[in-house]
Amino acid sequence: MPLQVSVFAENKPGKIKRITGVLAEKGINIRAVTISESGDYGIVKLLLDQPEAGCEALQKAGIAATLKEIIAVLMKDTPGGLHEVAAALSESGINVEDAYGFIVKSSESAVFVFQVGNPRMAEKMLAGRGFSMLGDKELYLL
């Protein structure tokens, strides 16, 4: 199952730079990034080509970082593409905790990346309904 790095950051200028600096130095590539903030602080979520190495490097630099399992489901890059995934999740009563999506130019498809309480169950459900998920290697090297 793919992993994503969550990083705690104060909501102040220069805080993202500190994180990206560590990753750049280690030659770790960022595939996607989202930030959710709550007042004074927020969480930076990073999809990295080497999540374990990236997380370790950040921790070594004294940054609060942790790995989280995610689901990356492939969908059609057409109107209604995300709707199909959302409908499947909704019917199964699965709550999406945190998500983002992006398109993959080469394949005319798109990827919906999200966190859920029970990733294994969600993965099984989606696979059962014919969705294909990206494994860690596939996702990191998109």
Partner 1 sequence: MVDRADTCAKKDGRKAMWNRELETLDRSSLEKLQMKKLEKTLESALRTRYYSRVFSDHGIDVARFRSIKDIAALPFTAKDDLRLSYPDGMCAVPRAEVVRMHASSGTTGKSTVIFYTMKDINDWAELVARCMVASGATREDVFQNMMGYGLFTGGLGLHYGAERLGCMVIPSAAGNTLRQIQLMKDFGTTIIHITPSYALHLGDEVSAQGVDPRELAVRKAYLGAEPYSEATRDKIENQWGLDAYNSYGLSEMNGPGVAFECIEKRGMHVWEDYYYIEIIDPVSGRPLPDGDEGELVITHLNREAMPVIRYRTRDLTAVIPGPCPCGRSHRRIERIKGRTDDMLIIGGVNVFPSQIETVLMKVPEVGNNYQIVLDRRENLDRIHIKVELYSKMFRGDLKELDNLKSRLARELQALIVVTPRIELLEPGSLEPSTGKAVRVIDSRKI
Binding site for partner 1 (CB under 8 A): 6, 8-10, 15, 36, 38, 40-43, 45, 59, 62-68
The H-or-E segment that residue 91 falls in is: helix 81-91
Could you tell me the smallest distance in angstroms from the CB atom of residue 24 to partner 1? 19
Residue 136 makes CB contacts below 8 A (sequence gap 6+) with 1, 2, 3, 51
In this complex, which beta carbon is closest to partner 1, that of residue 28 or of residue 43?
A: 43
Could you tell me the smallest distance in angstroms from the CB atom of residue 141 to partner 1? 23
Could you tell me the smallest distance in angstroms from the CB atom of residue 36 to partner 1? 5
Q: Is 81 exposed, middle or buried (0-12, 13-18, 19+ CB in 10 A)?
A: middle
